[in-house]
Amino acid sequence: MTVLGVIPARGGSKGVPGKNLRPLAGEPLVVHTLRAALAATVLDRLVVSTDDAAIASVARAAGVEVIDRLAELATDAARTEPTLLHAVDTLVAAGWPEPEWVVTLEPTSPLRTAELIDRCVELALREKPGAVVTVAETRENYGRREGDRFRYLFPGQPRRRQERQPLYRESGTVYVTRTSLLRRTGLVLCEPLLSVVVADEEGIDINALLDFEIAEAVLRARKGS
């Protein structure tokens, strides 16, 4: 039973240009994911899939294997799943047995811990689902706008947030997918789908400059504790 960790880190980014190499706490963003993945105990092999020479250099300096991503898999419209399958196919073509599980670790979740990666994979190995996804709790009151009208998704929720039933959002921190289902469906999230709840800080996802500032503050607090 083999587990492959894949860090998909392309060079382009519309929201924050050069995001994966932008410094966070003095290091490129991608380094934080590299470090957590290397410290995890459950990954039999770890690769970075990238189209960017600078990202490849950072990965190799950290001791992580690099797979050159095809140009068509590195566009703004490209989905993650073909990139994962390209990584698997590249390794299999080189003689490595097809892994049973693929673990997706996006560089945009720099505050995940190695322990969280281990928990997610251990759940997959124990329960053998289609996939495992990390989720973060929220007690916000969500709804949709229809023109100017606002409709609650869950009407009748208490006004005090402490009294509301918790909801959960996909955090994007860790995905564990059975490879055979990834091939069959072309999806990372395959049924039956299990979940692991992450702490608020581990669920921080970097998509804007403000997210960098929030992550910086959390990292400073971690060092000060």
**Could you give the C-alpha distances from 168 to 15, 63, 95, 190, 212, in angstroms and in order?**
25, 35, 40, 18, 23
Distance CA 182, CA 115 (A): 24
- pLDDT tens across 122-149, in order? 999 999 999 999 999 999 989 999 999 9
pTM assigned to the model: 0.92
Sign of the torsion angle spanned by Cα atoms 77, 102, 131, 9: negative
At 176-215, the pLDDT tens digits run 999 999 999 999 999 999 999 999 889 999 989 999 999 9
Separation CA 199–CA 203 (nearest Å): 6
Residues 68-114: tens digit of each pLDDT: 998 888 877 789 999 999 999 999 999 999 999 999 999 999 999 99
Cβ neighbours of 99 (radius 10 Å)? 22
Q: Decide: residue 127, CB within 10 A, 0-12 exposed, 13-18 middle, 19+ buried.
A: exposed
Average pLDDT over residues 110-121: 97
Residue 53 CB neighbours (<10 A): 11
DSSP letter assigned to residue 142 = -
Output DSSP code: residue 70: P
**What band does 225 get if pLDDT is binned at 50, 70 and 90?**
low
Q: Where in the chain does DSSP place strands (E)?
A: 3-8, 23-24, 27-28, 45-50, 65-68, 101-104, 131-138, 143-146, 149-152, 167-178, 193-197
Residues 177/104, Cβ–Cβ less than 8 Å: yes
Torsion-angle region of 107 (φ positive above 0: left; ψ -120 to 50: alpha; else: beta): alpha
Q: How confident is the model at residue 24 (pLDDT cuts 50, 70, 90)?
A: very high
Assess contact for 138 and 40: CB atoms under 8 A: no
pLDDT for the residue 10: 87
All domains in the chain, ordered by first residue = 3-224 (3.90.550.10)
